[in-house]
Structure 1
Amino acid sequence: MRCTEKIPVPIPRPERPNTLPTSSESKSTGNGSTIVFSGKRLTLEDAVFLGLRGNRTIRSAYIDRVSQKFGLRVAEDRFNPHFGITGNISRQRIADRASTTLDVSPGFSLITKTGATIDFAWNSSANWQEPGNAFSSAFQIGIEQPLLRGAGLDVNLAPVQTARLGELVNKLRLKATISQTIAGTIVAYRSVLSAQQQLQLAQASLERSQDLLSINNALIAAGRLAPMEAVQTQADIEAQRLAVLQSRQTLETSRLVLLDLLALDLDTKIVAVENVDPRRVNTDIAKLMQVALSERQDYLGQAYVIEQNRLGVTVASNEQLWDVSLYAKARAGTQFSEGLGSDRIADVTAGLKFTIPINDLGREKRLVDASTSYQNATLQLQAIRSGIEMQVRGTASQVDLLWQQLDVAEKSRDLALQAVTIEKAKLNAGRSTTFQVQSLETNLRSSESQLLNARIGYLNALTQLDLQLGTTLATWRIDLRD
């Protein structure tokens, strides 16, 4: 069985080849120079699609679904007749007499929704021996209907209803697994994107330091700057080269993590091409909670678990009753024996049987256990609701704060860039020092990094909020095809 045929896919989506399209993506560093990342273009939608198709966690979840759905099929088969054939053939010798016996009994058994059991069999037997052979063929049927324990639709339908509720829980767990995997893929993708841009920022900072060294050399040649002033700039250049190498290592690590999540060849070169300019999202807590309580898989699943436990209490309560049943048995057919002729078989038995427990604490314990499980499940639902509210409120607050930080970070970066430009102009005019320019360069590098982190952090917070609301699949228009 190929479980990959039922892996979920985004809808609607364009036709995609089995491999990523090859290209190279050029990125501007912000000062006119570029870094060229060679590899296969990978948008965020591509990453999500490939993750759904190849992620091992999702594939494992779909493999588990095969067993889970078959378990439901078994439970729903409870009230269907079950057919079977039993038989025996034997050869026996006692002293100088030999005999051969053949018994064949096809039949079926059936449980009705009221709790009645029906057993039917057609017994055929043949015995070959000397001095005479014997044959018999007769059907027998037995019916037993509980009157107290085991009687009624509620009790007998409970196993099927429990299995159906369990199937709903399993589907919700599958949704949760896929949602978490999508969120993890998105975060891993943005880690690659962030590492690419950090590398661009490091390269741009290195080039600005090299430009500053050129200015220093020109001023030294003109006699307007002492030669020792260039030493600090040269040290800063080496530090920036180290930062570029570290950024490359971070990018490689992030790339490997993403490729592993997508189950792609780790030698694959990829280029993240998504835009990181975020848009503000409204975070009305009342509306968010309304969505979360109607979509969260764990909350809905716990509601089904409560219903399962309620059915368990119903069954356990029924087990406390006396076992009283009406029964009837009938057997009819013929038997033949050489020398004696044939006889008709006609037997009918009917009656009432009962079992009255006196001090069976085991059955009472099952009721106590079922009741406590139901109460604990109800409390667990309240705990899950409280946890959801804490998560949603916390993440919504984080989203709002990150948006404010993003605004401040953009202003800080713009001002830091202006300060560096002004200070370089003052250095050319002999009104500043290399140390002052480098200090402002350090502030610019920090503000650029903070701005990038704020953008990625804001987008990741929205992804986390989407996951906490239980709307990840709806956001990405994913059809589970389960």
Structure 2
Amino acid sequence: MHGPPRIPRLFLATALAVAATGANAEPALQAAKPKRVVKPVPVPSSQHSAPAKSAKSAKAGEAVRDREIPFSVADTVALALRNNRTIRSASIDRIAQKFDLRVVEDRFTPQFGVSGGAIRQRIAGIDTSSYTVTPGVTTLLPTGAIVSFSWADQASDTLGVRSRRSAGLLSVSQPLLRGAGSDVTLAPMRSARLGERINQLRLKATVSETIGQVIFAYRELLRAQEELRIAQASVGRAETLIDINRALIAAGRMAEVDIVQTEADLENQRIRVLEASRSLDNSRIQLLNLLALDLATPAVARESITPARVTTNLPDLMRIALAQRPDYLGQLNAVEQSKLGIVVAQNERLWDLSVFGTGSLGRTSITGPLATSAGITDVTVGLVFNAPLNDLRREQPYIQATTGLQNAEVQLETIRQGVEVQIRNSATDIDIRWRQLEVARRARELAARAVEIEKEKLKVGRSANYQVRALENDLRSAENQQLGAAIGYLNALTLLDVQLGTTLDTWHIALRD
């Protein structure tokens, strides 16, 4: 298993269940009252009663759709990678982090430099001029030895007497105990490389979590859109019920006062439409804010909320999580860093013992009345040591490094168990949410069928307004419940993807670091 499969992008089927016909209920009614046959009351079509209004509404709807900008989940993820401020800030931080690694890795590169100066002075009426130029190079060897070479060129002129000294100086210092050996010398560079890997994993975690937040915000926009559609459908059904009531009143089979409650229910449904519109605007603004886009952008979610079932296998999920989770992998690197710290700290406890050698080769000369010239050949070798006997400060780094390693290992176990808790909870949540979605679909279908049956019964005088209104409320609740179950299931899959650390793989994202 390579992470949760991509959810197929299909448009949600918005058609309600096929309404039950009056003929289906007629035999039972005839059995109860065989001598009474009531013909359904014809309901006037709202399209024929108000053609001008319908045409105007249709044109307004087309104008709104022309201004809409459809967004898919893939579009949203792409925009987040390009515009999201959190991701951009994390990418900017990587510039300094990579340069820090470059500085540490440069410690074995020979360092070149030039020093010198020029002086002209008058003391007691005597003019003196002098200059010094000293180019040099210093390098650190993996053994801990420091090798340096410089060439000093010095000259002065005092009352016509010119002197010059030009000589090269080579020096070597090799520690034998403290600071000696490639394990100690290379430890800072190895630790920096582990730190770079941790920084890369943190960037991956930041991008994954941000993408997850953007997808959740996108789904909230999708939920708000569907809630508005459900609210508008409820208004349409309430208007149809009023048309039925008016037809029954015109036929003399319903008292005129009985329509009042239906009209009040219609106004309540219109209030719900307004509330759904406000929620839709809020959800759109939240998504646009995460995408760092103009908040007035008429973004519309165009994605399926008909999910496919994803089976979960806990052992496979744990294997993927422990191989992909940035926090777990980062802590593994932190443990290795702590081990390197112990190597360095143990070495710090040793005495300072070094051998050194210097050699100078060159010539010095003086021009003037006392002209002389001589060669320079100097060699020096030696051994130096420093042996503190009771300095507890030399033990302090080792104690700190040891406790640091123990804490890092404890933190690693904590993260591992935390990962298992999250994966187990998510796997259970996904399975339960799928079953909830299946039940919600069936409940919505039955509620829609019940409404249509009750309307047909109302037309033939075998039901009452309050029964239809009650079933309408049940249908609206069932539709919202199905919507919530579908969005919850999709969000649970997205959350599992983030928890597995496979979000970038799922969306085929390769971080260019």
Q: What TM-score, normalized to structure 2? A: 0.87
Q: Corresponding residue for 1:399?
A: 430
1:132 to 161, 185, 195: 161
Inter-partner Cα distance in structure 1 for 2:278 and 2:325:
38
Distance 1:194 1:463, change over 3 A: same
Correspondence for 1:20: none
Pairwise CA distance, 1:228? 2.0
Aligned 8 A contact 2:17 2:449 in 1: no
Matching of residue 222 in structure 1 with residue 251 in structure 2: yes
Out of 437, 444, 463, which is 1:432 matched to? 463
Q: Secondary structure at the match of 2:350?
A: coil
Query: Higher strand fraction: Structure 1 or Structure 2?
Result: 1
Superimposed CA distance per residue, residues 296-318 of structure 1 (whole angstroms, 9 cap, x where no aligned partner): 11111110110000000000000
For 1:369, what is the secondary structure of its paired residue?
Answer: helix
Task: Please identify runs of 4+ aligned residues in structure 1 that moved more than 4 A.
Answer: 25-37
Letter in 2 for 1:119: S
Counterpart residue number, 1:360 = 391
Q: 431-440 vs 454-463, which deviates more?
A: 431-440
Residue 35 of structure 2 is matched in structure 1 by none
Alpha-carbon deviations, 1:312-342, whole Å to 9, x = none? Answer: 0000000001110010011121111222411
Aligned residues: 458
2:492 maps to 461
Q: What residue is the counterpart of 2:451 in the other structure?
A: 420
Describe the shift of the 1:313–1:26 C-alpha distance in structure 2 as closer, same or farther (beyond 3 A).
closer
CA separation in 2, counterparts of 1:29 and 1:329? Answer: 92
Deviation for aligned residue 1:29: 6.8
Q: Deviations over 1:25-70 (max 9, x none)?
A: 9996759999766211211111111111111111111111111111
- How far apart are the structure 2 equivalents of 1:364 and 1:91? 52
Residue in 1 that maps onto 2:36:
none
Q: Residues 263-412 of structure 1 correspond to what in structure 2 (within 5 A)?
A: 263-338=292-367, 339-412=370-443
Deviations 1:152-190 (A, max 9, x none): 110001011001111111111111111111111111111
> Which residue is equivalent to 2:129?
100
Q: 1:145 and 1:391 mapped to 2: Cα distance?
A: 53
Deviation string, structure 1 residues 119-173 (Cα, Å, up to 9, x no partner): 1111111112214121111111110000011001100010110011111111111
Q: How does 1:162-177 map to 2 (within 5 A)?
A: 162-177=191-206
Q: Look up the match of 2:217.
A: 188
Contact 1:196 1:251 in 2 (8 A): yes
Which one of 444, 448, 452 corresponds to residue 483 of structure 2? 452
Moved more, 253-262 or 399-408: 253-262
Comparing 464-473 with 429-438, greater Cα deviation is found at 429-438
d(CA) in 1 for partners of 2:403, 2:320: 30
| Residue 294 of structure 1, CA deviation | 0.8
The 3-state SS of whatever aligns with 1:182 is: helix
Of structures 1 and 2, the one with the larger relative CO (CA 8 A, separation 6+) is: 2
Per the TM alignment, residue 474 of structure 1 is displaced from its structure 2 partner at its CA by 0.9
Q: Any stretches of 5+ residues in structure 2 without a counterpart?
A: 1-10, 19-53
**Cα 1:453/1:464, change in 2 over 3 Å:** same
Matched, 1:156 2:185: yes
After superposition, the CA RMSD in angstroms is: 1.8
- Counterpart of 2:99? 70
Q: Which residue of 2 aligns with 1:60?
A: 89
Aligned-partner residue type, residue 109 of structure 1? T
Secondary structure at 1:228 match in 2: helix
Question: Residue 210 of structure 2 aligns to which amino acid in structure 1?
Answer: T
CA contact (8 A) 1:101 1:128 kept: yes
Structure 2 letter corresponding to 1:441? E
Paired residue type of 2:305: V
Report the 3-state secondary structure (helix = DSSP H, G, I; strand = E; otherwise coil) of the residue aligned with 1:325: strand
CA offsets, 1:62-120, max 9 Å, x none? 11111111111111111110001111212221110111121111001110000000111
The match for 1:442 is 473
CA distance in 1, matches of 2:116, 2:257: 105
Q: Distance in 1 between matches of 2:462 and 2:390?
A: 101
Q: Secondary structure at the match of 1:310?
A: helix
What amino acid is aligned across from residue 470 of structure 2 in structure 1? S
Q: How does 1:1-80 map to 2 (within 5 A)?
A: 30=16, 38=65, 39-80=68-109
TM-score of the pair, normalised by structure 1:
0.92
Q: Secondary structure at the match of 1:478?
A: coil
- Alignment partners' CA distance in 2, 1:421 and 1:99: 114
Give SS of 1:391's match. helix
Check conservation: 2:364, 2:373, Cα contact below 8 A: yes
User: Who is 1:11 aligned against?
Assistant: none
Q: Distance in 2 between matches of 1:157 and 1:453?
A: 56
* Counterparts of 2:165 and 2:502, CA distance in 1: 68
Is the 1:99–1:129 contact (alpha carbons within 8 Å) kept by the matching residues of 2? yes
- Cα separation, 1, equivalents of 2:471 and 2:391: 84
Equivalent positions of 1:256-267 (< 5 A) are: 256-267=285-296
